[in-house]
Structure 1
């Protein structure tokens, strides 16, 4: 669904109004330029029914979006690439002797993964609220430097205890990256545009799996330096690269359109008005945090259902990150460590293609939940193949289907929660909630593939088959609910409902605003 943009003819140009009071509503009898500028100064950009008061010049919008893409996307994509590498390289290190050198026994490898997810979950929402308070331009580089540091320190771990402590601190710093970047990008893009732009950085997750395997195979060929060797080099080299990226990003990221030195004043006004024109009742792009708006973002039916879907999907996504090298090793047991590392690359490449393709189609068709429904069966078929066959070629082929379906939910779910709240604060808490639920799925994934279950892992694969099936069912339920509720809202008298309310009371309604319609 998309906001209705009235034509330029709907704005009278013979009697411009003078918008002096911030609380004053925009008149529909003003120049379009005045409407854009007034929206940027703190006025609503929609009427009470959610219709945009501005008709934007398509060519000016295209130029602006291209400019934002160029300045924003590459930096956040690289940050997330190394975020995922620094999280998942423990799977590559396991093949290279980490368990033996640290003296890990029984379930201690799984406990190491769990230590990461405990902090990753606990600090998710607080980190995203801090991102709003501090500003993404400073907060995201700070987090990047932190997880780069603790990734490097993992290379100096000598036993299970200090490795677990380092993994806990790594999770604390990484917890704010996925929701923080999603929240940051929601400040810049329209609802329909957002999913594809999220895909352009979330695609770094499967690419990190592919690139991480290639990088690991290259680093493992290096001669050790003193007592530093094999798996230790993975963490040290990759951690240093991450810290260098953090320093660069501190000088390149811009908090929001109004502070972007690379935008003209006209472009800043257009960027702000574009975002506001799709959020009914919104007068400020970056309002102050208040509890009511935080709760609106969390306790939103769309947020809760989407977050449960993301939780179930992440059991697969994070499980692949940590265990795909191990799974590949059981499929090709006679190959060398380097060959096994390289076999993890192709499934991630195919998965990355679908991560970009489906959100791109979502952007162009202005639909989202249909792509939830398309993706889930790919995972279901893949895990059915794992359970139904022990043939190495069949099982390796199944990994391609699984990555193609599972990784697409990253951008799709985050876009779904971001586009169905109206205020900046609610958006921050909604995205934080979604990713927090997703990381609960990651925590579950650390116990999905247990030592006694190998080499075929029927329990782990059966669990993922069940969660994939639930993803499909809940996606259909969410779709049906949003369609039903939009029809219910069509019957509501918007003007009567809002009568007597102040601007603040209207803004505090967020998704409960009667003029709001769910995007699906």
Structure 2
């Protein structure tokens, strides 16, 4: 006979692994999760979801941070920026990042990660290629604000996604991928920019413009697979 502990709704049976009863009204169901199958499922998420989160955040960080590299390559001179205009572009872009973090997380929750994060990916990729063809201060502000808006909730969206997949004790390592991805971007972003700079002016386009064109091609290929 199975014994029922009234304080904790767990059936104890000598011939069966304990299961937990969840009762609502007259509805009673036994839920048993096989530990081996659970580990196998989580391994699949580690193989298919976790790497994509790292790749997306690395690409987003590259696209966002390369504006500073473009400045070194002559962006300010070509656009006629002066005084604190470059700093204003960065400031307004950062405001968009702060304002749109929560809306993107809500979008992931409501529409699902595939739709929300996929839309963010396409949007910031379009803004990246758009940066290559800006010609004045106003266009620079608009395109970079849109880019930061698209990227705003990326890390937070993946963190929310992980919270719906992994047990509490396993979430921390996956969320930490945000910091790992940003470190990777910082380590190789300058090297990538230097490689593009050596191209010089090609087909009438300055090196800083090629930086965003090459970056767009790389992002749309690798991120599209993700």
Q: Same fold (TM over 0.5)?
A: yes
**What is the aligned partner in structure 1 of residue 192 from structure 2?**
215
Instruction: Select which of 137, 160, 174 maps to 1:183.
Output: 160
Q: Tell me, yes or no, if structure 1 residue 100 matches structure 2 residue 77.
A: yes
**What is the aligned partner in structure 2 of residue 29 from structure 1?**
11
SS at match of 1:29: strand
Question: Does the 8 Å CA contact 1:150/1:239 hold for their aligned counterparts?
Answer: no
SS at match of 1:219: helix
Q: Aligned in 2, Cα 1:43/1:232: closer, same or farther, shift over 3 Å?
A: farther
Q: Aligned in 2, Cα 1:27/1:245: closer, same or farther, shift over 3 Å?
A: same
Question: After superposition, what is the alpha-carbon deviation per residue over 1:258-291, rounded to whole angstroms, capped at 9, x for unaligned?
Answer: xxxxxxxxxxxxxxxxxxxxxxxxxxxxxxxxxx
Q: Aligned in 2, Cα 1:78/1:167: closer, same or farther, shift over 3 Å?
A: same
Structure 2 unaligned blocks of 5 or more: none
Instruction: Select which of 196, 202, 210 maps to 1:225.
Output: 202
Counterpart Cα distance in 1 of 2:76 and 2:160: 37
**What is the aligned partner in structure 2 of residue 77 from structure 1?**
54
CA drift at 1:240: 2.7
**What is the aligned partner in structure 2 of residue 467 from structure 1?**
none
Q: Tell me, yes or no, if structure 1 residue 123 matches structure 2 residue 93.
A: no
The two structures, once aligned, show a CA RMSD in angstroms of: 3.1
Question: Does the 8 Å CA contact 2:21/2:29 hold for their aligned counterparts?
Answer: no
SS at match of 1:203: helix
Instruction: Select which of 146, 162, 165 maps to 2:142.
Output: 165
Q: Tell me, yes or no, if structure 1 residue 196 matches structure 2 residue 173.
A: yes
**What is the aligned partner in structure 1 of residue 225 from structure 2?**
248
CA drift at 1:189: 1.4
Alignment length, in residue pairs? Answer: 218
**What is the aligned partner in structure 2 of residue 112 from structure 1?**
89
Runs of 4+ in 1 over 6 A off after TM superposition: 42-45, 53-56
> TM-score, normalised to structure 1's length?
0.38
In terms of fraction of residues, the more strand-rich structure is 2
SS at match of 2:161: helix
Q: Tell me, yes or no, if structure 1 residue 67 matches structure 2 residue 49.
A: no
